[in-house]
């Protein structure tokens, strides 16, 4: 069976500057994919290339069993049968909600068309607002109209460009669940672009992490978080620290936390210098543990507190501790590492100069 | 219950005290000044409208039988033709330069605004001079095709006036349409395409409908200018309301007939304004995403790109470049005859009137703007609206509407002067510059008010409070904060009013004291005798000064589009 979307060795650039380089991935029918990356990483350009608004340098794009982009060929956007949900929704202000949703249904005959539009409005819960104009709706409602409009012609693929970035934080989470349910209910294949990992985790079956035009990893949320393919993914998704260490044998590695035992995510020869990814939840707080670390910084998070800790050898880790364990900066607390799969990167593979993207937490710090 | 009674009485006393304080608070200098200006504007309106309500039987019957049918038909054709023409040119050029890309696009996008510098009456006499039976074009045609039996269409026709007015006024529609297409955001166009429309389909089904309120706004300006135009139609001897008003007053010496004609025109003008307000209301809801089409302009290729280039070029040539060249040629021809003391006299009087008017109007506009800033209530806002309503009144109407009350006031003053001091005079206010300046003030108040108002809006109350916290207040606040922040707005206002007054024709023509001829008045006199060449020198001066506000406008739109 053909995948619903297949992107192969896609590259794109503007005046000598490469924006997308050699991107390959595919989505199965009914799957929701998500391109996650910092701003300027090329993820929106990639989306617009799939929609047909940008031309490529090389590579191919397939939607279901038809080729929409290949060398010297690009199907115009209106012929691709791809729906798009725009960041600013781009509802047509001169048309009612009903007319907006029906806009892409020109070939459909009237009684059937009306029924189809109404069904969709019921799906997104806006059947009451059918006669209103976009400016009379709230931001969340506008977005659902835009979704219904994009879904109405039953596109082969739905693209979503930062769909929740215009909504306030409280609305965002609820709406992203709603949107996921609607897309799943319509059995539509979808690809979303976002810079917000919570959104990606909530919606996507597959996540692609993009940086500087390159697809760093294309996997499920679980794998992306727990076995990040490289240092950039490790740094961009979730929190944590990279500890320098040395491989002792095929299951053990020595670092500032002592000797850690478990299975390595990638094989490393004995004696090799590595960086080990330690997530905050990998550090357990135990008062009577022999290993003590000093609190250098704390952030209250409600159910728990994120502590930045200084290990005896001067390396630094993050620990997520239930918030009734209150310690002050400067205090020494007992900790115990709990890792089964050890994420290791051989030294040098870690990207140099990881951007400071985690609310001011340095990724690899010495105290 | 004496206690409660006392309480009640005290409350009543308090209440009346507060009411009194409230009134005192309401009557402050700013408001009084704003009320006075609004009143001044309301007087001519009131005079004109009241003459509609109390028609003088004989005159009204004569007008209905002999004058109105002709000028109503003429006006209808003119408005219809100019609207269609400006829509066609304005929208197509706006789309080409706003959303597409073709060679020369950047240059055309500002150059197509240049015709704004040329008053319609200047373009009118140039076209007459060029295409008249004895003009160079017809002569050449007869020389090269002596027995073709075919003759070029007569320029002195309805179509001729319409063509000239379209060329002079299309920039209004162009400007609005272009900015609408540029701001509506590329994603609307893209959204339409993901929903299966071709670029052309998307233009007609999405872009054009979305730009409709803006285009309508530009069109309303065109219609108002068309209705108010006096110079161009009188050069073509094409009778409309404005020329009929002029003739009624200065030909038949019937100010009553002039007033009654004016009242009909006011009625038409205010209907147009009402439509404009409605279209504006819709505009608010159609704001685009602001992404702009800059990155995804539609690239025109092959014959489309050449077509776009040639089309823009021919409009620019016809509306600005060729007329300018003709003006220059004529000027060279008559320069040694016309350039002299009499010309300097004209220029001097024009500059004097324009600069005094600019100073007075901007001062009053500043007072209005501060009143609006001080009192953010409906009443004051309403006052500023009334005070700036005069732009809607065609100059001919204003001249009539101000002359009538001044003449009445004059009678009273003369009577009292005679009775009290035995001072004998037939007129005191009439025949002075006071009437001219009053009419200018009413007509061009909005020209000065808009830039000053937007500058004062920028001085938010927070700015005042912030500087007060730092110990800067009173005169020092004015000097260190307000004046620097207002400087550009004031300067723009001064320039705009100055140029408008310079180009103004009917008010000056109808209300000026004897001997106060301006460049525009001179053009009227020369063109009514068919002296096209001799009109060129004063016209050239007007076009040059007219370029200044156009350049300001271009810079403004440059700033907006680069944002």
pLDDT 10s digits, A162-183: 888 877 888 888 888 889 999 9
* B contact test, residue of A50, A78, A89 with most B CBs within 10 A: A78
Is B206's CB within 8 Å of A92's CB? yes
Query: What pLDDT does residue B23 have?
Result: 59
In 3D space, the residue among A87, A91, A90, A85 whose CA is nearest the CA of residue A134 turns out to be: A91
DSSP calls for B128-166: HHHHSTTSHHHHHHHHHSTT----PPPSSSHHHHHHHHH
Distance from CA of B226 to the nearest CA of A (A): 29
Written as six digits, the tokens of A355 are: 């951007």
Distance from CA of B282 to the nearest CA of A (A): 9
Q: b/e for A17-29, b at 16 or more Cβ within 10 A?
A: eebbbebebbbee
From residue B244, give the alpha-carbon distance in Å to each of B51, B122, B390: 16, 20, 21
By three-state DSSP, how is residue A160 classified?
strand
d(CA B128, CA A107): 54
ipTM of the modeled complex:
0.75
Query: What pLDDT does residue B67 have?
Result: 83
Written as six digits, the tokens of B302 are: 């092959």
A88 touches chain B (CB under 8 A): yes
Is B289's CB within 8 Å of A90's CB? yes
Q: B interface toward A at CB cutoff 8 Å?
A: 185, 187-188, 190-198, 206, 209-210, 212, 285-287, 289, 291, 296
Other beta carbons within 10 angstroms of residue B13's beta carbon come to 10
Length of chain A: 367
By three-state DSSP, how is residue A191 classified?
strand
Written as six digits, the tokens of A178 are: 């709603």
Is A88's CB within 8 Å of B212's CB? no
Q: For chain A, which residues make up each domain, given as ranges?
A: 5-226, 240-346
Q: What are the helix and strand counts (H, E) for chain A? A: 8, 22
Written as six digits, the tokens of B450 are: 């808009």
Contact (CB, 8 A) for B529 and B317: no
pLDDT reading at A350 higher than 50: no
In eight-state DSSP terms, residue B390 is G
Burial (CB < 10 A; 0-12, 13-18, 19+), residue A212, is middle
Backbone φ and ψ for A13, nearest 5 degrees, come out as -150, 155
Question: What's chain B's Rg over C-alpha atoms?
Answer: 27
Written as six digits, the tokens of B97 are: 């330069």
B87 Cα distance to chain centroid: 18
pLDDT 10s digits, A115-157: 999 999 998 999 999 999 888 898 889 999 999 999 999 999 9
Distance from CA of A50 to the nearest CA of B (A): 11
Question: Which positions ≥6 away from B221 have C-beta within 8 Å?
Answer: B172, B276
d(CA A303, CA A321): 9
A14 touches chain B (CB under 8 A): no
Residue of chain A with shortest Cα separation from B199: A78
Question: Which positions ≥6 away from B135 have C-beta within 8 Å?
Answer: B128, B129, B155
CA dihedral B265, B387, B219, B215 (to 10 degrees): -150
In 3D space, the residue among A8, A7, A13 whose CA is nearest the CA of residue A57 turns out to be: A13
Is A93's CB within 8 Å of B187's CB? no
d(CA A350, CA A242): 9
pLDDT 10s digits, A7-45: 999 998 877 788 898 999 999 999 999 999 988 888 989
Query: What pLDDT does residue A163 have?
Result: 87
A76 touches chain B (CB under 8 A): yes
* A contact test, residue of B185, B191, B298 with most A CBs within 10 A: B191
d(CA B300, CA B305): 5
Q: Which helix (H) or strand (E) holds A122?
A: helix A110-123
Question: Which positions ≥6 away from B509 have C-beta within 8 Å?
Answer: B230, B246, B520, B521, B524
Is A90's CB within 8 Å of B194's CB? no
d(CA A247, CA A268): 7
d(CA B367, CA B31): 9
Is A106's CB within 8 Å of B196's CB? yes
Residue of chain B with shortest Cα separation from A79: B196
d(CA B317, CA B325): 10
pLDDT tens over chain B, length 563 residues = 445 555 555 555 555 555 655 655 556 778 888 888 899 888 888 888 888 777 677 777 888 888 888 899 999 999 999 999 999 999 999 999 988 889 999 899 899 999 999 999 999 999 998 888 777 787 787 778 776 666 677 788 899 999 999 999 999 999 989 888 887 767 788 889 889 898 888 888 888 888 888 888 889 889 989 999 999 999 999 999 999 999 888 888 788 888 888 888 888 888 888 877 776 666 555 554 444 444 567 788 889 999 999 999 999 999 999 999 999 999 998 888 888 888 888 899 999 999 999 999 999 999 999 888 888 888 888 888 888 888 888 888 888 888 888 888 888 888 888 888 877 777 777 778 888 999 999 999 988 998 898 888 888 888 888 888 887 777 788 888 888 888 888 988 998 899 899 999 999 999 898 888 999 999 999 988 888 888 899 999 899 888 988 888 888 777 665 54
Please work out, in degrees rounded to the nearest 5, the angle formed at the alpha carbon of residue B51 by the alpha carbons of B45 and B54: 140
Distance from CA of B147 to the nearest CA of A (A): 56
Q: Please give the span between the terminal C-alpha atoms of chain B, in angstroms, as a whole number.
A: 71
Written as six digits, the tokens of B12 are: 């009543």
Distance from CA of B180 to the nearest CA of A (A): 13
CA dihedral B390, B391, B392, B396 (to 10 degrees): 80
Question: Which positions ≥6 away from B420 have C-beta within 8 Å?
Answer: none
Distance from CA of A80 to the nearest CA of B (A): 8
A15 touches chain B (CB under 8 A): no
List CB contacts (< 8 A) between B187 and chain A. Answer: 86-88, 90
pLDDT 10s digits, A235-270: 889 888 888 899 998 889 999 898 998 888 888 888
Contact (CB, 8 A) for B118 and B546: yes
Contact (CB, 8 A) for B184 and B207: yes
Length of chain B: 563
Query: What pLDDT does residue B10 have?
Result: 54
Distance from CA of A15 to the nearest CA of B (A): 14
List CB contacts (< 8 A) between A162 and chain B. Answer: none
List CB contacts (< 8 A) between A88 and chain B. Answer: 185, 187, 289, 291
Please work out, in degrees rounded to the nearest 5, the angle formed at the alpha carbon of residue B532 by the alpha carbons of B528 and B537: 110
A92 touches chain B (CB under 8 A): yes
Contact (CB, 8 A) for B240 and B165: no
In 3D space, the residue among A67, A125, A74, A134 whose CA is nearest the CA of residue A103 turns out to be: A134
Distance from CA of B286 to the nearest CA of A (A): 6
Is A90's CB within 8 Å of B191's CB? yes
In 3D space, the residue among B240, B229, B269, B241 whose CA is nearest the CA of residue B124 turns out to be: B229
What does pLDDT average to over chain A? 87
Q: Is the domain defined by A5-226 classed in CATH 3.40.50.300?
A: yes
Question: Which positions ≥6 away from A68 have C-beta within 8 Å?
Answer: A52, A61, A62, A74, A75, A80
Is A86's CB within 8 Å of B196's CB? no
d(CA A225, CA B54): 85
Question: Which positions ≥6 away from B306 have C-beta within 8 Å?
Answer: none
Is A93's CB within 8 Å of B286's CB? yes
- Per the listing, tokens 């725009």 go with A86
Q: Least CB-CB distance to B209: which of A87, A94, A106?
A: A94
Residues paired with A284 in a beta bridge: A336
CATH homologous superfamily for the domain A240-346: Nucleic acid-binding proteins (2.40.50.140)
Other beta carbons within 10 angstroms of residue B356's beta carbon come to 16
d(CA A311, CA A60): 50
Contact (CB, 8 A) for B272 and B256: no
Is A88's CB within 8 Å of B210's CB? no
Written as six digits, the tokens of A288 are: 């009577």
- pTM score, two decimals? 0.78
pLDDT reading at A309 higher than 60: yes
Question: Which positions ≥6 away from B157 have C-beta within 8 Å?
Answer: none
Q: Which helix (H) or strand (E) holds B335?
A: helix B322-338
Question: Which positions ≥6 away from B106 have C-beta within 8 Å?
Answer: none
* B contact test, residue of A15, A86, A158 with most B CBs within 10 A: A86
A135 touches chain B (CB under 8 A): yes
How many pairs of residues across A and B have Cβ atoms under 8 Å apart? 69
Contact (CB, 8 A) for B292 and B183: yes
- Characterize the bridge pairing of strands A32-36 and A206-211: parallel
A103 touches chain B (CB under 8 A): yes
Is B185's CB within 8 Å of A90's CB? yes
Q: For chain B, which residues make up each domain, given as ranges?
A: 55-328
In 3D space, the residue among B93, B95, B81, B508 whose CA is nearest the CA of residue B320 turns out to be: B93
In 3D space, the residue among A129, A122, A92 whose CA is nearest the CA of residue B194 turns out to be: A92
Class level of CATH domain B55-328: mainly alpha
Q: Least CB-CB distance to A84: which of B194, B212, B287?
A: B194
């Amino acid at each position: 069976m053909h995948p619903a979307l297949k992107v192969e060795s896609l590259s794109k650039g503007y005046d000598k500057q490469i924006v997308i380089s050699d991107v390959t991935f595919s989505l199965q029918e009914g799957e929701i994919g998500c391109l996650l990356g910092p701003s300027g990483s090329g993820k929106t350009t990639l989306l617009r290339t799939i929609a047909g608004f940008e031309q490529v340098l090389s590579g191919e794009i397939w939607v279901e069993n038809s080729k929409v982009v290949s060398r010297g060929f690009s199907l115009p956007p209106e012929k691709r049968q791809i729906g798009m949900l725009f960041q600013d929704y781009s509802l047509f202000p001169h048309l009612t909600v009903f007319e907006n949703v029906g806009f892409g249904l020109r070939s459909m005959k009237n009684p059937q068309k009306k029924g189809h539009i109404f069904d969709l409005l019921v799906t997104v819960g806006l059947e009451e607002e059918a006669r209103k104009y976009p400016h009379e709706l709230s931001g969340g409602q506008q977005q659902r109209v835009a979704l219904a409009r994009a879904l109405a012609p039953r596109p082969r693929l739905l693209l979503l460009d930062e769909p929740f970035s215009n909504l306030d934080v409280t609305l965002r989470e609820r709406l992203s669940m709603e949107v996921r349910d609607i897309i799943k209910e319509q059995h539509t294949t979808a690809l979303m672009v976002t810079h917000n990992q919570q959104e990606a985790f909530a919606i996507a079956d597959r996540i692609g992490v993009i940086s500087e035009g390159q697809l760093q990893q294309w996997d499920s949320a679980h794998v992306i978080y727990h076995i990040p393919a490289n240092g950039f993914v490790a740094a961009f998704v979730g929190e944590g620290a990279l500890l320098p260490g040395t491989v002792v044998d095929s299951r053990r590695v020595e670092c500032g936390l002592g000797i850690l035992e478990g299975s390595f995510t990638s094989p490393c020869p004995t004696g090799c210098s590595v960086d080990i990814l330690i997530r905050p939840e990998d550090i357990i707080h135990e008062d009577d543990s022999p290993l003590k670390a000093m609190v250098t910084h704390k952030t209250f998070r409600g159910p728990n507190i994120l502590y930045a800790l200084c290990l005896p050898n001067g390396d630094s880790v993050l620990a997520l501790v239930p918030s009734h364990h209150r310690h002050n900066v400067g205090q020494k607390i007992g900790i115990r590492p709990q890792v089964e799969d050890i994420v290791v990167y051989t030294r040098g593979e870690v990207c140099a100069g990881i951007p400071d993207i985690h609310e001011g937490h340095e990724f690899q710090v010495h105290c | 219950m004496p206690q409660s009674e006392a309480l009640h009485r005290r409350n009543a006393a308090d209440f009346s005290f507060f009411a009194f304080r409230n009134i005192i608070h309401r009557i402050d200098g700013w408001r009084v000044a704003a009320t006075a200006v609004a009143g001044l504007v309301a007087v001519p309106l009131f005079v004109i409208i009241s003459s509609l309500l109390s028609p003088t039987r004989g005159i009204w019957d004569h007008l209905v039988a002999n004058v109105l049918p002709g000028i109503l038909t003429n006006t209808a054709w003119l408005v219809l033709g100019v609207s269609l023409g400006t829509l066609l040119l304005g929208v197509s050029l706006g789309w080409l330069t706003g959303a597409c890309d073709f060679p020369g696009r950047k240059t055309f996008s500002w150059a197509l605004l240049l015709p704004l510098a040329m008053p319609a009456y200047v373009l009118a006499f140039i076209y007459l001079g060029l295409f008249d039976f004895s003009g160079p074009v017809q002569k050449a045609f007869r020389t090269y095709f002596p027995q073709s039996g075919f003759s070029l269409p007569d320029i002195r026709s309805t179509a001729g006036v319409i063509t000239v007015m379209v060329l002079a006024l299309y920039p209004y529609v162009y400007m609005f349409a272009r900015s609408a297409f540029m701001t509506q955001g590329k994603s609307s166009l893209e959204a339409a395409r993901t929903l299966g429309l071709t670029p052309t389909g998307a233009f007609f089904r999405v872009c054009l409908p979305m730009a409709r309120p803006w285009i309508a706004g530009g069109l309303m300006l065109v219609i108002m200018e068309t209705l108010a135009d006096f110079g161009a139609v009188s050069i073509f001897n094409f009778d409309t309301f404005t020329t009929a008003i002029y003739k009624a007053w200065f030909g038949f010496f019937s100010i009553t007939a002039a007033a009654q004609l004016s009242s009909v025109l006011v009625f038409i003008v205010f209907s147009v304004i009402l439509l404009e307000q409605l279209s504006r209301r819709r505009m608010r809801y159609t704001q685009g995403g602001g992404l702009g089409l800059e990155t995804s302009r539609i690239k025109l290729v092959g014959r489309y790109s050449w077509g776009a280039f040639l089309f823009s070029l021919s409009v620019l040539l016809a509306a600005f470049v060729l007329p300018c060249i003709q003006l220059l040629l004529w000027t060279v021809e008559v320069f040694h005859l016309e350039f002299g003391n009499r010309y300097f006299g004209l220029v001097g009087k024009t500059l004097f009137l324009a600069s005094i008017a600019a100073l007075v109007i901007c001062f009053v506009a500043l007072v209005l703007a501060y009143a609006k800033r001080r009192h953010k209530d409906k009443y004051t806002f309403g006052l500023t609206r009334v005070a700036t309503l005069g732009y809607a009144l065609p100059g001919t109407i204003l001249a009539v509407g101000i002359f009538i009350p001044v003449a009445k006031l004059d009678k009273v003053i003369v009577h009292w002067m005679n009775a009290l001091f035995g001072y004998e005079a037939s007129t005191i206010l009439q025949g002075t510059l006071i009437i001219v300046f009053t009419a200018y003030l009413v007509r061009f108040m909005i020209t000065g008010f808009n830039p000053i108002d937007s500058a004062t809006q920028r001085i938010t109350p927070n700015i005042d409070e912030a500087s007060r916290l730092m110990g800067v207040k009173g005169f020092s606040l004015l000097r260190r904060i307000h004046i620097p922040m207002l400087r550009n707005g004031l300067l723009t206002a001064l320039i705009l009013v100055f140029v408008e007054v310079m180009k103004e024709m009917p008010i000056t023509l109808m209300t000026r004291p004897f001997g106060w001829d301006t460049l525009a008045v001179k053009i009227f006199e020369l063109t009514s005798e068919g002296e096209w060449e001799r009109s060129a020198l004063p016209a050239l001066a007007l076009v040059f000064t007219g370029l200044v506000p156009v350049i300001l406008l271009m810079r403004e739109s440059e700033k907006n589009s680069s944002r």
